[in-house]
Structure 1
């Protein structure tokens, strides 16, 4: 065998070995049994079982080496429109249903980390603006409620974000998103056990619409994709 042929073979072998030393590429996104089981845990939550409609589960997926999406379940907990039930929707109804949803979370082991109640600016296109006789003449800023929560099941942390809104004499809604760690995440992303808000202490649970914006607790968000950012980079995990 000539020296030139040997040199070519050595170069080809070096290229093959160099390719093997890098991170392996995925032929397609990977979903593990662990990710499927964690989605099922979220689907078994009482608040999800009671959801009105539009329950959308998505198991965690390894997208590429060092990058993954976390398992999630999104659901419509409540919705109402002015033409349903023969009369206009009431923001108080949406607020009451939001408080009831918070109660379901508390009763099933969730820790409420944060709660917020936002009201439109007075005199603007918000709650104080008179309704237009023409439904298409303009929109009104909604009253908004939100909370974040976490829970542990068999050593795995789960996260929830509930958002609600209501327009006076208009529609109201409550939506919920839950997320779980990917199989490549640490199983417990809330190992520090963030403090919870006591029952009946939040602006959501207190009767009546608040007169000004209220923010309670420390909201922490579990990002859809991992890995988690460096500690202190932002309030997401």
Structure 2
């Protein structure tokens, strides 16, 4: 197994349910599989506040309290409308920077990519983003990949970025492929019906090209980009 033994999925108020819970659930399934062969993977669903967290759509979830000094081998920042406020939270930004500075993995999807961008660790790095944030991030000086792909894994930088909620399930399989090997990822993907739907693209460091409708994307950006990534 890789050196990734502790993973934190960081929740915050108004976090996106799919963005948080889909990859968390897959990593929990992986932990169960590893445990059957005597290996250990600690997967934490946590928040800086601890206790009950209300999600983007109003569900309430229990989170473990995370201290700013805590460290994990992989820090995962999900999206959701709450990503806007999270991108201004100094404790969250400091936690991201500390993990990256110490050579630990940082992953994000959807609005979580905007949070990670605001931490400064994506400077000089070409990364993927959800359609709603592409224009906004470029205006702020980010090197957003074009054409857009569903996910991108950068092993040297230990950074993983993925698009919106529909990309989360397959992109998590891609991340697991790199961190734990294709055999583990393939078994998980087949078990969860991801492999029959998405095929061999799951095991690539870059996801498939998206098929964006430019008119729709522009309208979405006009309505929501500053909700997900507000001004400083």
- What range describes the TM-score normalised by the shorter chain of this pair? under 0.3
Per the normalisation by structure 1, the TM-score is 0.26
Per the normalisation by structure 2, the TM-score is 0.27
User: Which protein shows a greater Rg?
Assistant: 1
Q: Which has the higher strand share?
A: 1
Q: Which has the higher helix share?
A: 2
